[in-house]
Structure 1
Amino acid sequence: MTIEDRLLNFKDNTILDRDHLYKLIREVYPQYKDTSIRWVIYDLVKKGIISKLNPTQYVIGQSDIYQQKNASDERRKIVDYLNQAFPNIRIVVFESTLLNEWVNHQIARKVIFIEVEKYFMSDVFRMIYNRFSTKVLLNVNKEDLYMYEGELIIINQLISQAPINQQARDIKIEKLIVDLYTKDLITEFINEDEKDDVIESIFKTYPVNVKTVYAYAKRRGNIDIIKKAISSYHLGGLS
């Protein structure tokens, strides 16, 4: 069996650590040294059998890294503005409507969530409040969310170790998975009985780094809930 055949036995979007990939190649080509293995990996990437996610991880198939679909113009303007005002601060901007990719009932109410390091929350609030016409709220809870109708911009604290795409100011899929099983406001836009279907669809569509999910879930204090929620989707080589 060739290394291509072995890798094609994995499901698409399976994430492999570099050491695991080296081990698989050595099992097929035990005589190969590291230099030859790197050439094998280069060839596998060129053929589209695997894709490089980062310096230490690869994914089976063509990588489809998560990005919010159909992001609003307002979100893009907010991101551009924050990039100018706070280029080096960890900030993520995402919308309630991102869930429309997976839920059956389409979410009509657009709420833009801005999560930022605690120290900069007030500064970001003032600048967004003065710049945008949409209602802007700071440190919002569930009761506040239902007190106001229509579109909102909500600024809350970004939890340390939260997986985000800093360059794009975008949420990573690993953060979304964990947030759906916390008391975060994004959970108000999805029915409890839809969560399992959403998680299953996410794992089928995107590469999910389960190690990152678990690390963030541990930080959020819901690691046991997350392990139970995703166990049937990542076992057997999905990550």
Structure 2
Amino acid sequence: MNKSKNNKLRIEDIKLRFKGNSFFTFKELYEFYKEEEPELKVGTFKWRIYKLKEKGIIRDLKRGVYKLGSFKEFVPVTNSNVEKLYSYLIKAYPDIQIDIWETSWIHDFMNHQPFNSFIIVEIDKEVLESAFYFLKEKRNSVYINPKGNDIEKYISNEKNVIVIKSIIKGSPSKKIKKINIPKIEKILVDIFFESNLFKTYQGQELINIFERVFEEYTINLTTLLRYARKRGIKEKMNNFIVDTIKIKGSFFE
């Protein structure tokens, strides 16, 4: 066959074949190519996968599982309030892991956006109480590991609330603008698991958030489910994604 390298990739055929699929596997893509090239070697096929990713035709969901479209990372816009708060904390606790995020980051994925948002600070449990009092000196509305009554009474109604809690070791995080923030996979698991704290984000809005984040951004399911396992909810998280969000398949670990 005298085809160009691009023709051998069969980009348009791939788009047609897998359009509308939540995902497709290494095996399915290999079988797709073998329909026209029965003798296709695995090594050649792996090179094609690399080229398809490079061109933004497919992206990884996890190892050996792909989705149409290029890689798109969730990168929230951090405001000066979050940046200053992180700066205070990192100067006071320079050798401690600190993650910070704001619930407003997920408001765009909801049908009815909440009136208020709050900031979550996660820090090593050894300095949790010390960091709480440190923040209380600078801000009024700071709550440590809030429970039901506090959430109902204060967090849902007050503005500029800060919630501080202990970080789970090995939580997926990344740096933007020199600030350590949780990855979107962690945020999704947390709002699913901590339904009391994130009460505003439950029910249909939780489904909306998951569906729209999965649609718009590249989500690493291995990262998401590994963190869900740390929180003891891997099976529940798996079932929610498969049964409610309708990402079907047996590729979950």
Partner of 1:151: 160
Separation in 2, partners of 1:11, 1:90: 42
CA deviation profile, 1:21-64 (whole Å, cap 9, x unmatched): 9x849967845758x956x5664454333468999998753322
Determine if the alignment matches structure 1 residue 161 to structure 2 residue 165.
Answer: no
Stretches of structure 1 that go unaligned for 5 or more consecutive residues are none
Match 1:133 to one of 139, 152, 162: 139
Counterpart for residue 190 of structure 2:
179
Distance 1:188 1:48, change over 3 A: same
1:179 deviation in Å? 1.7
- Aligned partner (choices 56, 70, 79) of residue 48 of structure 1: 56
**Equivalent residue runs for 1:1-239 within 5 Å:** 2-5=8-11, 8=15, 9-10=17-18, 20=26, 24=30, 30-31=40-41, 33=43, 43-50=51-58, 60-69=68-77, 71-130=78-137, 132-148=138-154, 149-166=158-175, 168-232=179-243, 233-235=246-248
Give the gaps of 5 or more residues in structure 2: 1-6
Secondary structure of 1:112's partner?
strand
Distance change (3 Å), C-alpha of 1:211 and 1:181: same
Deviation at 1:151, TM superposition (A): 2.2
1:156 CA drift (Å)? 0.7
Of the structure 1 ranges 51-60 and 179-188, higher mean CA displacement relative to structure 2 is found in 51-60
Alignment RMSD: 3.8
> TM-score, normalized by length of structure 2?
0.71
> CA contact under 8 A between 2:148 and 2:196: conserved in structure 1?
yes
CA shift in 2, pair 1:136/1:146, >3 Å = same
Deviation at 1:229, TM superposition (A): 1.0
- Rounded to whole Å, the distance in 2 between the matches of 1:207 and 1:120 is 34
Q: Is the 8 A contact 2:111 2:208 kept in 1?
A: no
Inter-partner Cα distance in structure 2 for 1:238 and 1:98: 29
CA distance in 2, matches of 1:77, 1:209: 30
1:61-82 deviation digits (Å, cap 9, x = unpaired): 332211234x432112223333
Q: Secondary structure at the match of 1:180?
A: helix
Aligned counterparts of 1:67 and 1:87: Cα–Cα separation in 2: 24
Percent identical among aligned pairs is 24
Which amino acid is 2:174 matched to?
A: N
Larger Rg: 2
For residues 81 and 55 of structure 1, what CA distance do their matches in structure 2 show?
39
Query: How many Å apart are 1:126 and its aligned residue?
Result: 3.4
Decide which moves more: 141-150 or 54-63: 54-63
Q: Name the CA distance, whole Å, in 2 between partners of 1:183 and 1:33.
A: 45
The CA deviation at 1:144 is 1.4
Shift in Å at residue 186 of structure 1?
Answer: 4.4
Contact 2:18-2:24 at 8 Å conserved across structures: no
